[in-house]
Structure 1
Amino acid sequence: MKKVLVTGASGQLGKCFQKIASEYPEMELRNFNSSELDITDQNRLQQIFSEENPEYCINCAAYTNVEKAEDDEETAFKINAEAVKNLAEVCKNTGTVLIHISTDYVFDGKATNAYRETDVVNPINVYGASKLKGEEYIRQILDQHFIFRTSWLYSEFGHNFFNTILKKAEEGATLNITTSQTGTPTNANDLADFILQLIREENSEFGLYHYSNLGEATWYDFAKAILEFSGKIDQVTLNKSGYYKTRAERPTYSVLDKQKLQETFKKLVLHWRDSLEDLIINRFRKI
């Protein structure tokens, strides 16, 4: 049985791994939330890895508050970069394959075509810069790694755009949603399933990959689809907004190219609308 250690297990992606773990009986997922395993604590990392002896580590632990990172750069880099460095060093010492989740925010958003793994990175906010530094540490330290950059993650778990829109619909709110950013909504359940398939197959095509659902959308497009698929479009007033004031600058275009991923792993990647509809059907199906 493959032992897989999951950090940041209380976050939405970590919960998706736990949700589908029963579909992978050949694996034992050992899930640690931040209070059980603080990845900034190198001694604790070494202790847990020594006790668990995992073959794989999926790092879902991250500082993900893009806005707060602008005013708390030290903490963002401590978790997203320095702690990742610690994790890579421990994985190297124990022979553990590290699977790390990164972000489309390593790009500046000035492109007009989907970003490839070989494109120049140029983060325009602290969050993106801290995640990029974490990537760099992994590549410097550890050969046996997968880095998956993803975008606009959502699921039925936790605080995210998907759940916020559904909550606002229940309240009958007026929603002004920006059209000034284009990316790809990505169902965290799809990403979790893809990674566990990778482990099941003991794939060793290590390196950097882009993973998101297919297609592209603005945040307005995403909100409208959520409301339409859930049958709640008539419960809110939905307006397009060309401007959305934020503390952190965001890339205006951050669609990720999946050609390398699809050619390497030969896996089906769903269009974002299809995956969203499937999640909503499963979430709201009457029992």
Structure 2
Amino acid sequence: MKKIIVTGCNGQLGRAVNLFFKDAADIGFVNTDVGELDITNIDKVMELAREVKPYAIINCAAHTGVDACETEYDKAFKINAIGPRNLAIAARETGAKLMHISTDYVFDGKATKPYVETDATNPHGAYGSTKLAGENFVKDFADRYFILRTAWLYGDGKNFAKTMLRLSEDHDMVTVVEDQFGSPTSAAELTKAINALLFTENYGTFHATCEGSCSWAEFAKEVFRLAGKATQVKAITTEEYGAAAPRPAYSVLENRMFKLTTDFMFADWHDAIAEYIKTL
């Protein structure tokens, strides 16, 4: 029986991971969320790891409130950087593999072509900088790790697609940013990618997003089309939207390491969101 500790088990990815492996007889999940395990407390993390002696730790926990991270920097740093550091130390001591989830926000968004894993990072804003610190701690302290950078995630929980559908109930028109580009990625597809790596020795940093890219406005239009909603999308600029924290204008990721080292291929984002809308 391979025991796997999952942090952030109640989030979109944590739920998707549990769903994917629910019939796997040889895997036993130890599910934790903030109520069961404070990943920012090294003593608590070590205590659990020594008790469980896990085959792997899948870290789905993060402070993902991009605007909130600006005003709660210390809290964000503890969850996004100190937490992964603690899990990395625990993984190394217990001989476990560490699967750590990171983000497109480690880049500045000024590229003109998709980012590959070896491109220079340059986060703008607290969320990206704390997540990059987390990546670096994982590299410093874990012996056997996978870092998966994903983007625009949606699944069972609060996300952009669900927000759009909720707004469509009582709005004929919604305003959505048209000058930010990325790759909407389903938690179900990301879980398949985790499965493609977790039981291998293929360690390192991987980009992990659905294939293809779009703007937020294009994504909203596709959600409405698939759901049969008549709601119109009014495209606006990032400046007009006026968010508290900076967002990368272009954070499309190329899954180069997956393509070069595995036979796993992410679904196209159109297909993945169509599958998701069907399940709602």
| Unmatched tracts of structure 1, length 5 or more | none
* Whole-angstrom distance in 1 between the partners of 2:52 and 2:15: 20
Once the two structures are superposed, the pairs formed by residues 226-237 of structure 1 within 5 Å of their partners are 226-232=223-229, 234=230, 236-237=231-232
Match of 1:137 in 2: 137
* Whole-angstrom distance in 2 between the partners of 1:118 and 1:198: 19
Match of 1:85 in 2: 85
Helix, strand or coil for the counterpart of 1:165?
Answer: helix
Q: CA deviation at 1:280?
A: 1.4
* Whole-angstrom distance in 2 between the partners of 1:282 and 1:237: 23
Q: Which one-letter code corresponds to 1:124 in the other structure?
A: H
Task: Answer yes or no: is 1:96 the counterpart of 2:93.
Answer: no
Deviations 1:26-67 (Å, cap 9, x if unpaired)?
211221111101101111111111221110000011111000
Q: CA deviation at 1:237?
A: 2.9
Q: CA deviation at 1:189?
A: 1.1
Once the two structures are superposed, the pairs formed by residues 2-81 of structure 1 within 5 Å of their partners are 2-81=2-81
Deviations 1:87-140 (Å, cap 9, x if unpaired)?
111111011100000000000011000001111110001000000001011111
Instruction: Tell me if structure 1 keeps the 8 A contact 2:258–2:265.
Output: no
Helix, strand or coil for the counterpart of 1:22?
Answer: coil
Helix, strand or coil for the counterpart of 1:101?
Answer: strand
Q: Which one-letter code corresponds to 1:218 in the other structure?
A: S
Match of 2:111 in 1: 111
**Which residue, out of 215, 223, 226, partners 2:212?**
215
Q: CA deviation at 1:173?
A: 4.7
Q: Which one-letter code corresponds to 2:166 in the other structure?
A: K
Q: Which one-letter code corresponds to 2:220 in the other structure?
A: A
* Whole-angstrom distance in 2 between the partners of 1:133 and 1:282: 36
Deviations 1:136-160 (Å, cap 9, x if unpaired)?
11111112000000011011x2211
Helix, strand or coil for the counterpart of 1:83?
Answer: helix
Change (3 A) 1:268 1:56: same
Q: CA deviation at 1:192?
A: 1.2
Q: Which runs of 4+ in 1 moved over 3 A?
A: none
Once the two structures are superposed, the pairs formed by residues 246-261 of structure 1 within 5 Å of their partners are 246-261=243-258
Helix, strand or coil for the counterpart of 1:171?
Answer: coil
Question: TM-score under structure 2 normalisation?
Answer: 0.96
**Which residue, out of 222, 230, 239, partners 2:234?**
239
Q: Which one-letter code corresponds to 1:256 in the other structure?
A: L
* Whole-angstrom distance in 2 between the partners of 1:92 and 1:46: 11
Q: CA deviation at 1:82?
A: 1.3
Instruction: Tell me if structure 2 keeps the 8 A contact 1:143–1:206.
Output: no
Once the two structures are superposed, the pairs formed by residues 192-211 of structure 1 within 5 Å of their partners are 192-199=191-198, 202-211=199-208
Helix, strand or coil for the counterpart of 1:70?
Answer: helix
Instruction: Tell me if structure 2 keeps the 8 A contact 1:173–1:237.
Output: yes
Q: Which one-letter code corresponds to 1:50 in the other structure?
A: R
* Whole-angstrom distance in 2 between the partners of 1:36 and 1:149: 26
Identical aligned residues as a percent: 38
* Whole-angstrom distance in 2 between the partners of 1:158 and 1:282: 13
Instruction: Tell me if structure 2 keeps the 8 A contact 1:24–1:196.
Output: no
Instruction: Tell me if structure 1 keeps the 8 A contact 2:227–2:277.
Output: yes
* Whole-angstrom distance in 2 between the partners of 1:142 and 1:18: 24
* Whole-angstrom distance in 2 between the partners of 1:276 and 1:6: 25
* Whole-angstrom distance in 1 between the partners of 2:106 and 2:58: 20
CA RMSD across the alignment: 1.2
Task: Answer yes or no: is 1:162 the counterpart of 2:161.
Answer: yes
* Whole-angstrom distance in 1 between the partners of 2:162 and 2:26: 32
Instruction: Tell me if structure 1 keeps the 8 A contact 2:117–2:256.
Output: no
Q: CA deviation at 1:271?
A: 0.5
- Greater CA deviation, 163-172 or 104-113? 163-172
